[in-house]
């Protein structure tokens, strides 16, 4: 069966809970979405606000404080917010990414070359078992053992070798400060984790992002040779407009392509824009260059008709918060009205009780 670009857009929005806001507990949403991008502390909150009916920031903050969800480096070597169970099951699967980075990182590889990594791991584990450490504290403690190596490089090595979570208050709504690290197993506790499984990782990816190609799954995970995993699974196959084979779970439903796709304001680093090798189902190559900066920052975006058609940002001055939407192309009048309404709702949610304004610029 062939899928048009519009069909792919609607399927993606459906899996990502963006066709309509759903009534779902925050924890269940985090698990359904296979985690949330979390390079910065607060994008996961904006992600859930765009997807869940009645979501409140404290709903996710409580999950962090109760250790039901955690922040750690996972897919693509970037920080994600995932359930505690997924953190323990998935971290070993992406160790290959960490190993590759330790050997090739331009900033640190030469500075950690020749170190006994097992010895560094043992010392770092003992330090963190005693108490949580900030990055600076951990680096300084390791540098006392290896004084000829930069503390920052030693911290980077420990983060690559060990499953470290960023513990609260990092990631708690409204909090600030530098990350403090703890060993994942020590912080989470509880029963032994589910055995790591690439098959389960692919299944969860397709549930959240399918239909998708092998290359898409590899781009999301940062792990190669997933074709062998796909080949062993019972999957449904489609073809995209370019003839690429897309796979999906046999029980998954692809919605009709002719249905509506409501306007959404997606937060910075929204995973919908980052989970595919071919991202044209949600953003054109031209617009992607305006949304994702050269240093890896991802702007908040305006999604209309299933495609990114602009960006948005907020600024505070004189006690007033202004949300400005910058369209990349001419918007229909109904989309301008919908963007203004979505912006007001977002500001009422993120900055309640403060003076605010929404501006939708004219496309340049």
- How does pLDDT run across 2-13, given as a tens digit for each residue? 999 999 999 999
For residues 51 and 16, is the Cβ–Cβ distance under 8 A? yes
**Which regions of the chain does DSSP assign to beta strands (E)?**
36-37, 69-73, 79-83, 133-134, 164-166, 180-183, 236-239, 245-248, 264-266, 300-304, 307-317, 320-327, 355-360
- How does pLDDT run across 299-313, given as a tens digit for each residue? 999 999 999 999 999
* Cα-based distances in Å from 255 to 7, 11, 15, 20: 7, 6, 10, 13
Q: Is residue 194's pLDDT more than 80? A: no
- The rounded distance, in Å, linking the Cα atoms of 115 and 63 is 38
Q: What is the pLDDT of residue 192?
A: 67
Q: What is the average pLDDT across 54-72?
A: 98
**What's the pTM?**
0.95
Q: What is the pLDDT of residue 190?
A: 78
* Cα-based distances in Å from 170 to 134, 176, 180, 202, 270: 11, 7, 7, 29, 19
Q: What is the pLDDT of residue 270?
A: 97
Contacting residues for 345 by C-beta, under 8 A, at least 6 apart: none
CB-based burial label for 167 (10 Å; 0-12, 13-18, 19+): buried
Q: What is the pLDDT of residue 177?
A: 87
Task: Work out the angle between the directed axes of helices 198-209 and 214-221 (0-180°, nearest 10).
Answer: 100
For residues 301 and 342, is the Cβ–Cβ distance under 8 A? no
For residues 145 and 158, is the Cβ–Cβ distance under 8 A? no
- How does pLDDT run across 20-57, given as a tens digit for each residue? 999 999 999 999 999 999 999 999 999 999 999 999 99
Q: What is the average pLDDT across 127-153?
A: 97
pLDDT confidence tier of residue 141, bands split at 50, 70 and 90? very high
Average pLDDT, the chain: 96
pLDDT confidence tier of residue 121, bands split at 50, 70 and 90? very high
């Amino acid at each position: 069966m062939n899928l048009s670009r519009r069909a792919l857009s609607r399927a993606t929005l459906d899996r990502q809970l963006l066709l309509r806001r759903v009534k779902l507990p925050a924890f269940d949403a985090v698990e359904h979405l296979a985690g949330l991008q979390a390079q910065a502390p607060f994008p996961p909150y904006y992600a859930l606000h765009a997807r869940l009916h009645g979501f409140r920031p404290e709903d996710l903050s409580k999950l962090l404080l109760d250790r039901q969800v955690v922040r750690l480096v996972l897919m693509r070597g970037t920080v994600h917010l995932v359930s505690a169970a997924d953190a323990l099951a998935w971290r070993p699967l992406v160790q290959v990414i960490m190993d590759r980075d330790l050997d090739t990182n331009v900033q640190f590889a030469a500075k950690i070359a020749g170190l006994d990594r097992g010895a560094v791991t043992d010392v770092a584990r003992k330090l963190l078992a005693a108490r949580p450490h900030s990055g600076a504290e951990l680096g300084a403690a390791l540098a006392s053992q290896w004084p000829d190596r930069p503390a920052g490089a030693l911290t980077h090595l420990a983060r690559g070798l060990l499953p470290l979570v960023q513990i609260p208050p990092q990631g708690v709504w409204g909090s600030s400060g530098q990350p403090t690290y703890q060993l994942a197993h020590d912080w989470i506790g509880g029963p032994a984790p589910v055995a790591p499984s690439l098959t389960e990782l692919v299944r969860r990816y397709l549930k959240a992002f399918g239909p998708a190609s092998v290359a898409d799954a590899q781009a999301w995970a940062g792990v190669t040779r997933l074709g062998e995993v796909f080949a062993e699974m019972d999957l449904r196959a489609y073809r995209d407009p370019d003839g690429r084979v897309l796979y999906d779970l046999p029980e998954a439903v692809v919605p009709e392509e002719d249905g509506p796709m409501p306007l959404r304001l997606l937060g910075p680093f929204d995973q919908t824009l980052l989970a595919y090798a071919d991202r044209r189902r949600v953003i054109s190559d031209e617009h992607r260059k305006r949304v994702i900066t050269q240093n890896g920052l991802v702007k908040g975006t305006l999604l209309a008709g299933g495609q990114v058609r602009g960006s948005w940002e907020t600024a505070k001055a004189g006690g007033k918060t202004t949300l400005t939407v910058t369209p990349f192309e001419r918007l229909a009048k109904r989309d301008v009205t919908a963007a203004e309404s979505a912006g007001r709702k977002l500001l009422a949610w993120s900055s309640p009780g403060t003076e605010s304004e929404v501006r939708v610029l004219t496309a340049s």
